[in-house]
């Protein structure tokens, strides 16, 4: 099975009206440019979201103007040049096929087969429980048996709920309440997971080594179906810069090879004439590498076959620089000491509104811990939380019996916990589940806004004044033996309308005696949802509070880099015999209405860096790939060095 490393991904969505598909295509020239970039793996469309095929299909619809067998020519050229080629099929969308087979489409709960916004390409989607499901399987067989491909990339597999006759009959058989949106969404998920399994079975029956990834099927649902994972994330194309750090730290815990898929577009997919700056695209690649992911860059193939040399030049410059790091990237695994638990439903987006509530929390926690240079994974609520020194339970980690058992095990093994707001409460939010929290839950905070006054143990770096808690939290009381590290200060009056005035000026009044932060044994608890608040408004005192608590609970973090600016990132990976600290110094700048721009790397100088020794014997510290030696010493269990210059990125290697 091919192990993808330096990859490209091509969209080839082409209107059936296009008059000259492939008329200028030179597969050799195209793959020569891939070789220039050191590419070992490429995903290219066999059949696009317009529903037309770029190979000589007997099953589907050839693009009407395609000359020859474009995909076949590419497959042959890739085979000659040792590039693994994966065939892309858009499973969720297939517009030309939908046009000819309206009975294959989703009938939405509102009764649409064509939704009103016809320029949104999801206006019409395919139902896998119709004859379309069999049709897709036939195309899969045709491709896997007919072409020398490494695998399949199955896209847009987020089938919306369907009330067409096939789905309706099965829902009735299964006693699914088809008038209940929640149950409808569950059935739609069952349909897409089942489709993924059918595709996998058909492909593996022909090629047991086929690489398989199902984009749109939640990653945990394809654990036993697919072979590798990708995370599609175009930071300037709608995903933003908080997604990769969060999702990357989650997906890498699933035990499969993971590709970080970015794109060359200034905006998003389909932006033919848009191009990223070099620093911006390189930042994405490096960020994924630092997280232990391999890289793939998305482009859109010109339907005539024109080679976009400017894009290839850009990718070649970036890949040729990064490929010098290959010896230190190959097989490298992340090293962490903190686990951040994602709220239910974790990264399961079957019910998008539930997912989005949790996403704010987990992205806030990720941003905060990244700025603090913590080494952490983001954990599924449904999988293991073992093997971390510290668990962060942000804002809304409610403990059912299973989660309570995980927390108990963690504490029994000597682990520490930083939790906030409702985390630690039972699913009905009646009280804290474990005595170890050392606090009594008294319901929602009565104050709007509440203020926090930091006590001496969490005062470091924070202002000596009542600081606003922007989001509503809980009210709690400390039990005997629990220490109060910060106090809630009430406002004179809450925000409200009394019939005469809108109360919008709400200065802090007096301390309430109620704790804002408590410490009980190995559990620190903050009364308010500081992680949600950090995602929404980024108040620095909240980050400083969490930093002070982490420092108290885990005084010896894996990495110490206190003088690195907040915008810089530090991540650790390891290979046998060495650990690598990746330092990134890039800042996306908000420009105008929408753009988030990285135009240049930022240069940092003389940055002290310490890596916890962890029982190893440091032999050598150097920069990769130049192998410039860095002087180091071992002090108090840390290998300490100073990085002279970081120009956007540095990899510091600790041979041990
Ligand atoms: Zn259906």
Q: What pLDDT digit, counting tens, does each position of 184-230 carry?
A: 999 999 999 999 999 999 999 999 999 999 999 999 999 999 999 99
Q: What is the mean pLDDT of residues 133-151?
A: 98
Side-chain half-sphere CA neighbours of 449 within 13 A: 15
User: Average model confidence (pLDDT) for the chain?
Assistant: 97
pLDDT for the residue numbered 153: 98
348 Cα–ligand 1 center, Å: 22
**In CATH terms, is domain 561-655 a member of 2.60.40.1180?**
yes
108 Cα–ligand 1 center, Å: 9
169 Cα–ligand 1 center, Å: 9
444 Cα–ligand 1 center, Å: 43
Q: Which residues pair with 450 in a beta bridge?
A: 469
> What residue spans define the domains of the chain?
6-323, 338-553, 561-655
5 Cα–ligand 1 center, Å: 38
Tens digits of per-residue pLDDT, 243-252?
Answer: 999 999 999 9
pLDDT for the residue numbered 637: 97
Tens digits of per-residue pLDDT, 406-428?
Answer: 999 999 999 999 999 999 999 99
Q: Alpha-carbon dihedral of residues 602, 608, 609, 613, nearest 10 degrees? A: 170
Q: What is the mean pLDDT of residues 565-594?
A: 97
Topology of domain 6-323, CATH: TIM Barrel (3.20.20)
pLDDT band at residue 436 under the 50/70/90 scheme: very high
Indicate whether 159 pLDDT > 90. Answer: no
Q: How far apart are the C-alpha atoms of 404 and 145, rounded to whole Å?
A: 49
| Helix-helix angle 165-173:181-206, to 10 degrees | 100
The sheet carrying 338-341 orders its strands as 376-379, 338-341, 390-393, 416-420, 523-526, 508-520, 483-491, 450-454, 467-469
Indicate whether 123 pLDDT > 90. Answer: yes
358 Cα–ligand 1 center, Å: 29
Q: CA 357 → CA 246, 343, 345, 564, distances in Å?
A: 15, 9, 9, 31
Q: What distance lies between CA 453 and its chain's CA centroid?
A: 35
| Percent helix, strand and coil across the chain, each to the nearest 5 | 30, 25, 45
Closest CA to 85 of 196, 11, 8: 8
Percent of the chain with pLDDT over 70: 100
351 Cα–ligand 1 center, Å: 18
Strand positions, DSSP E, 188-274: 211-214, 229-232, 258-263
pLDDT for the residue numbered 70: 98
DSSP H helices, 14-59, are 27-36
179 Cα–ligand 1 center, Å: 14
Q: Token pair of 343, please?
A: 């709220």
Q: What is the mean pLDDT of residues 619-639?
A: 98
122 Cα–ligand 1 center, Å: 15
481 Cα–ligand 1 center, Å: 59
pLDDT band at residue 546 under the 50/70/90 scheme: very high
Can you spell out the DSSP letters for 266-316? SSSTT-TT----HHHHHHHHHHHHHTT-EEEEEEE--TT----HHHHHHHH
H or E element: which one contains 187?
helix 181-206
625 Cα–ligand 1 center, Å: 53
162 Cα–ligand 1 center, Å: 4
pLDDT for the residue numbered 57: 98
578 Cα–ligand 1 center, Å: 53
Q: How far apart are the C-alpha atoms of 197 and 225, rounded to whole Å?
A: 6
DSSP annotation of 370: H
Q: Which residues pair with 570 in a beta bridge?
A: 583
- The architecture (CATH level 2) of 338-553 comes to 3-Layer(aba) Sandwich (3.40)
163 Cα–ligand 1 center, Å: 6
Q: What are phi and psi of 121, to 5 degrees?
A: -70, -5
pLDDT for the residue numbered 97: 98
Tens digits of per-residue pLDDT, 505-516?
Answer: 999 999 999 999
Contact 487, 515 (CB under 8 A): yes
Indicate whether 253 pLDDT > 90. Answer: yes
128 Cα–ligand 1 center, Å: 7
pLDDT for the residue numbered 158: 87
Query: Does ipTM come in above 0.90?
Result: yes
Side-chain half-sphere CA neighbours of 375 within 13 A: 27
| Radius of gyration for the chain, computed over Cα atoms and rounded to the nearest angstrom | 27
123 Cα–ligand 1 center, Å: 15
121 Cα–ligand 1 center, Å: 19
Q: What is the mean pLDDT of residues 260-280?
A: 97
């Amino acid at each position: 099975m091919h192990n993808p490393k330096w990859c490209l991904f091509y969209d080839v969505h082409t209107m059936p009206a296009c008059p000259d598909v492939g008329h200028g295509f030179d597969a050799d020239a195209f793959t020569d440019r891939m070789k220039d970039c050191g590419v070992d793996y490429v995903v290219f469309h066999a059949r696009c979201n317009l529903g037309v095929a770029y190979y000589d299909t007997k099953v589907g619809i050839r693009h009407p103007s395609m000359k020859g067998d474009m995909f076949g020519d590419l497959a042959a050229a890739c085979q000659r040049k040792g590039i693994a080629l994966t065939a892309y099929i858009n499973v969720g969308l297939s517009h030309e096929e939908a046009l000819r087979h309206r009975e294959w489409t989703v009938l939405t709960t509102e009764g649409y087969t064509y939704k009103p916004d016809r320029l949104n390409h999801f206006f019409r989607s395919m139902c896998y429980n119709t004859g379309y499901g069999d049709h897709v399987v036939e195309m899969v067989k045709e491709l896997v048996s007919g072409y020398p491909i490494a695998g399949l990339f199955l896209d847009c597999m987020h089938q919306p709920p369907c009330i067409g006759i096939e789905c309706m009959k099965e829902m009735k058989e299964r006693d699914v309440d088809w008038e209940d949106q929640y149950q409808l969404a569950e059935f739609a998920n069952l349909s897409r997971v089942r489709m993924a399994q059918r595709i996998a079975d058909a492909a593996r029956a022909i090629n047991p080594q086929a690489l398989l990834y199902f984009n749109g099927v939640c990653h945990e649902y394809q654990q036993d179906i697919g072979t590798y994972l990708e995370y599609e994330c175009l930071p300037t194309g709608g995903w933003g810069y908080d997604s990769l750090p969060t999702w990357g730290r989650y997906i890498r815990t699933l035990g499969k090879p993971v590709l970080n898929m970015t794109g060359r577009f200034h905006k998003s997919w389909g932006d033919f004439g848009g191009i990223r700056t070099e620093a911006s695209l390189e930042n994405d690649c490096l960020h994924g590498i630092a997280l232990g992911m391999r890289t793939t860059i998305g482009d859109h193939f010109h339907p005539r076959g024109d080679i976009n040399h400017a894009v290839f030049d850009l990718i070649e410059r970036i890949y040729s620089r990064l490929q010098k790091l290959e010896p230190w990237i190959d097989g490298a695994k992340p090293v962490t000491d903190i686990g951040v638990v994602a709220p239910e439903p974790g990264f399961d987006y079957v019910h998008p509104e539930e997912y989005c509530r949790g996403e704010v929390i987990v992205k806030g926690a990720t941003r905060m811990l990244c700025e603090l240079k913590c080494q952490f994974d983001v954990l599924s609520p449904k999988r293991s939380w073992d093997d971390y020194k510290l668990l962060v339970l942000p804002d809304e980690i409610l403990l059912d019996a299973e989660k309570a058992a995980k927390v108990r095990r963690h504490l029994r093994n000597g682990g520490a916990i930083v939790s906030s707001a409702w985390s630690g409460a039972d699913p009905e939010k009646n009280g804290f589940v474990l005595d170890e929290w050392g606090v009594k839950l008294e319901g929602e905070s009565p104050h709007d806004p509440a203020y926090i006054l930091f006590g001496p143990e969490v005062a470091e770096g924070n202002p000596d004044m009542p600081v606003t808690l922007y989001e509503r939290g809980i009210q709690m009381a400390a039990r005997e033996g629990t220490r109060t590290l910060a106090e809630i200060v009430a406002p004179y009056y809450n925000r409200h309308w009394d019939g005469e005035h809108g109360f919008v000026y709400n200065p802090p009044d007096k301390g309430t005696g109620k704790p804002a932060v408590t410490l009980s044994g190995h559990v620190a608890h903050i009364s308010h949802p500081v992680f949600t608040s950090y995602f929404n408004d980024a108040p620095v005192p909240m980050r400083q509070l969490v930093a002070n608590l982490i420092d108290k609970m885990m005084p010896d973090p894996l990495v110490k880099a206190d003088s690195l600016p907040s915008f810089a990132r530090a991540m650790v990976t390891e290979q046998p015999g060495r650990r690598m600290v990746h330092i990134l110094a890039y800042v996306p700048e908000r420009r105008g209405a929408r753009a988030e721009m990285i135009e240049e790397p930022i240069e940092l100088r003389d940055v002290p860096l310490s890596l916890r020794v962890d029982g190893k014997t440091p032999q050598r510290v150097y920069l990769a790939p130049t192998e410039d030696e860095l002087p180091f010493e071992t002090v108090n269990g840390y290998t300490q060095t100073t990085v002279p210059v970081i120009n956007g990125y540095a990899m510091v290697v600790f041979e041990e």
